[in-house]
Structure 1
Amino acid sequence: MDANTYSEIIIREIGQVLGQVNTTALEELATAVRAANRVFVAGAGRSGLMAKAFAMRLMHMGFTVYVVGETVTPSLAAGDLLLLASGSGETGSLVTMADKCKKLQAKLAVLTASPGSTIGRSADIVVQVPAVTKEAADIRSITAQPMGSLFEQSILLLMDAIIVRLMELQEKTSTTMFSRHANLE
């Protein structure tokens, strides 16, 4: 097969995953972002990179948002939202963050393929992303892609969909958001 054929397969796989996501959970997450005093995002590896992309767009919209682990990230508090991206819902560092979040009485949301996981069970909002993760025993029978690519691509698109929904709710446009775009590049 050529690269174009693989692109078509990938697009089809992503479409199948996105078509199964509960839209009520997405709307609940958008509502929680709007209601939060501040939004904190975290994920490990490539899932973390997708979460960072979401944080950037939230910043462009004027939300107060932080990426957990950065040197300028303040402490989490009640009234804040912590959004975790974890396919397995069992990543050790993220489980620790989820536990701390609950102790601090902040709201916890997760994008995960495993709603019954440790993080999924403790989250206030669970967006189940029914994509195979890198832990799957027979991954090649489910996706043409390596490891957690399907999950990571799907969460990026879901978070972009949340951004578009927030733009609609807050009457923002790309033009108004661009005023917050980095200008020291």
Structure 2
Amino acid sequence: METIKYAAEIIKELHRSVEQIADAEAETLADIILQSNKVFVAGAGRSGLMGRAFAMRLMHTGIHAYVVGETVTPGIDKGDVLIVGTGSGETRSLIPMAQKAKSLEASVVAVTIAPESTIGCLADALVKLPGSPKDQASGCHTTIQPMASLFEQTLLVFYDAVILRLMDKRGQDSGRMYGRHANLE
């Protein structure tokens, strides 16, 4: 298959995936973010990269957002939220983060393929995303893409859609957000 045909198939897969996301779950996430003092975003590997992009856009909207593990990330407290993007919901480095956030009375939101996972069960709110886990033998979702690429792409598109919803709820536009864009580049 030619490269462009692969790209077209990936777009079709993303379209099918996005159509499966529950509006109510997405709206709940947006509301939790708006009600929180600070937003912490966590994920491992490529899911973590999608989370970093989300945290940046949250900052552009004026929300106090942090990436877990960065040197300038403050402590989490009651009234804050930890958003964990994890396909499996079983990533060993992320489970203690969710447990610690809960012990400090912060909210936890899991964005995952697996609501019944350890992190899914720890979460106060959950957004179920479709996608293929790394172990494709499970047969959860068919994709031409390797490993968890479909989940990670859907995660980024979903996070960007949440940003658009937050912009709508706060009466913001891209012009206003540019005022918070990095200017030491």
Query: TM-score category by the smaller chain?
Result: over 0.9
Find the counterpart in structure 1 of residue 55 from structure 2.
55
1:181 is the counterpart of 2:162:
no
1:168 is the counterpart of 2:168:
yes
1:117 is the counterpart of 2:117:
yes
What are the within-5 Å matches in structure 2 for residues 100-111 of structure 1? 100-111=100-111
Task: Provide, for residues 106-162 of structure 1, a one-character-per-residue CA deviation record: whole Å limited to 9, x for no partner.
Answer: 0000110000000001101110001112122267x8111111110000010001000
5+ long unaligned stretches in structure 1 = none
Greater shift, 40-49 or 14-23, is seen at 14-23
Task: Provide, for residues 67-121 of structure 1, a one-character-per-residue CA deviation record: whole Å limited to 9, x for no partner.
Answer: 0000011111100000000000000111111111111110000110000000001
Q: Distance in 2 between matches of 1:53 and 1:135?
A: 26
1:28 is the counterpart of 2:54:
no
Q: Which amino acid aligns with 1:78?
A: K
Sequence identity (%): 50
In the superposition, the TM-score normalised over structure 2's length comes to: 0.97
2:82 counterpart SS class: strand
Q: Distance in 2 between matches of 1:101 and 1:135?
A: 29
Q: Distance in 1 between matches of 2:136 and 2:91?
A: 15
Task: Provide, for residues 24-66 of structure 1, a one-character-per-residue CA deviation record: whole Å limited to 9, x for no partner.
Answer: 0000000000000000000000000000000000000111011
- Change in 2 beyond 3 A, CA 1:78/1:163: same
5+ long unaligned stretches in structure 2 = none
Q: Distance in 2 between matches of 1:104 and 1:34?
A: 19
1:132 is the counterpart of 2:132:
yes
Q: Distance in 1 between matches of 2:20 and 2:62?
A: 30
Whether the 8 Å CA contact 1:88–1:135 is kept in 2: the answer is no
1:40 counterpart SS class: strand
Q: Distance in 2 between matches of 1:74 and 1:164?
A: 26
- Change in 2 beyond 3 A, CA 1:138/1:108: closer
Q: Distance in 2 between matches of 1:77 and 1:138?
A: 37
Q: Which amino acid aligns with 2:40?
A: F
Q: Distance in 1 between matches of 2:9 and 2:21?
A: 19
In the superposition, the TM-score normalised over structure 1's length comes to: 0.97
1:85 counterpart SS class: strand
Q: Distance in 1 between matches of 2:124 and 2:155?
A: 18
Q: Which amino acid aligns with 2:116?
A: G
Q: Distance in 1 between matches of 2:145 and 2:158?
A: 19
1:155 is the counterpart of 2:139:
no
Q: Distance in 2 between matches of 1:136 and 1:29?
A: 28
